[in-house]
Amino acid sequence: MIKHIWYYIIQGYVKIVLFFTLKKVKVFGKENIPKKGAVIFIGNHQNALIDALLIPTTNSRKTHFLARAGAFKNKFASKILATLNMHPAYRLRDGLRNMNKNLDVFKKCVKILHKKEAVEIFAEGEHHLERKIIPLKKGFARILLATLEQHPDLDIQIIPVGLNYDSHLKFPSSCYLYYGKPINANQYFDIKNPDLTFSEILKAVSNALKEVTLHIEDENHDEIIEKLDAAGVDYLEPKKAYKILELIRKRKHKIKNRKSKINWFLPFHFLAKLNSIIPLLIWKKLKGGIKDVIFTSTFRFAVIATLFPIFYLIQAGIINYFFNSTIAYVYLLITILLGVITTKTMEVSRS
């Protein structure tokens, strides 16, 4: 009972932080998510931890998800993450010895699915900034096979999830999530004579992901992206993006003249920055030390979740000390309003 309460408290806080991290989050296709039964959510992976957090916070299923093993190196952090239904997934870069630990993780996933709960997996196996679906790894298929070998009558549904960002690295970016139509996993497995290449299910899931997010298969990916930008594509809506992509391939696209708009909220943005000058300077320092740029939004999320609220509470405490609690509460209210206005009205440039 306490574990469930803790999970929902943290989930609620994560939703609040995401609200101040992303400009817009819209969800489509919730009707495709089974309300009961074993489910595997498989999403594309272009924004590190932000991807992992958006899926369990935008649907009603209590979700267990696999995260990169590096996050579990600290024993205390490992215990905290475990209470949030996070489990480590090991890759070759984590060392061959550690790869065997995936067997224990797979066993946990089998138990979770047998309980008719939900698991979240990023089958591409690594994050990347390209707007495409890279070849899927076999890990999720092995989990499905192991589950069906032990529980052949269990019905398992795969839900493809397309996470579409207008920008992966800039603040405040937006994300549209598309939950695709369920794929019945059982039909792809012959338990008595399994195909260990898993070619059919890998192809089916890959194709399903390409329907819910933009997939640029061309070798000249970066050149296509430049043309899409010039055509004013909206990456949040993959169906519209595909139409523009088709025009580009037929050489019928038009360059869209972008008109500069006056942002009447700029004074509020300035006040928000002035009020947050110390955490912003710390963030600037931290940002410069990020080795893998794909983790930019992840680190930004962590800073917004910790450093900013701590700083505001310290400021409120100082105000309360020199003045009174009423003024301190008013300060906090104004700070929150400035945060909302800034996050929801700033323009974001594309990465």
pLDDT in tens, 112-124: 999 999 999 999 9
Are 136 and 276 within one domain? Answer: no
Are 185 and 243 within one domain? Answer: no
Specify if 351 maps to a domain.
no
Q: Among 176, 192, 212, which residue terminates a domain?
A: 212
Are 252 and 299 within one domain? Answer: no
Question: So what's the pLDDT on residue 94?
Answer: 63
Specify if 141 maps to a domain.
yes
CA distance 298 to 48: 7
CA distance 167 to 300: 14
Specify if 133 maps to a domain.
yes
Q: Mean per-residue pLDDT for 20-27?
A: 96
Please tell me the total count of domains within the chain. 3
Are 194 and 154 within one domain? Answer: yes
Are 8 and 139 within one domain? Answer: yes
106 DSSP assignment: H
Q: How far is CA 346 from the centre of its chain?
A: 21
Specify if 208 maps to a domain.
yes
**CA nearest neighbour of 349 among 129, 221, 169:** 169
List residues bridging with 77 in a β-sheet.
none
List residues bridging with 162 in a β-sheet.
178
CA distance 121 to 77: 21
Question: So what's the pLDDT on residue 330?
Answer: 97
Q: Residue 176 — very low, low, confident or very high, per pLDDT cuts 50/70/90?
A: very high
To the nearest whole number, what is the mean pLDDT of the chain?
90
pLDDT in tens, 48-68: 889 989 999 999 998 998 777
Are 96 and 197 within one domain? Answer: yes
Question: So what's the pLDDT on residue 175?
Answer: 97
Question: So what's the pLDDT on residue 95?
Answer: 61
**Residue located via tokens 């984590």:** 94
Are 193 and 223 within one domain? Answer: no
Torsion of CA 160, 208, 202, 85, to 10 degrees: -10
Specify if 350 maps to a domain.
no
Q: Residue 96 — very low, low, confident or very high, per pLDDT cuts 50/70/90?
A: low
Q: Mean per-residue pLDDT for 3-10?
A: 82
230: domain range? 218-258
Are 92 and 188 within one domain? Answer: yes
Are 71 and 144 within one domain? Answer: yes
Cβ atoms of 122 and 52 within 8 Å: the answer is: yes
94 DSSP assignment: G
Are 104 and 123 within one domain? Answer: yes
**Residue located via tokens 């267990």:** 64
Are 72 and 89 within one domain? Answer: yes
Q: What is the 3-state secondary structure (H, E, C) of 38-57?
A: EEEEEECCCCHHHHHHHCCC
Q: Residue 89 — very low, low, confident or very high, per pLDDT cuts 50/70/90?
A: confident
Are 87 and 149 within one domain? Answer: yes
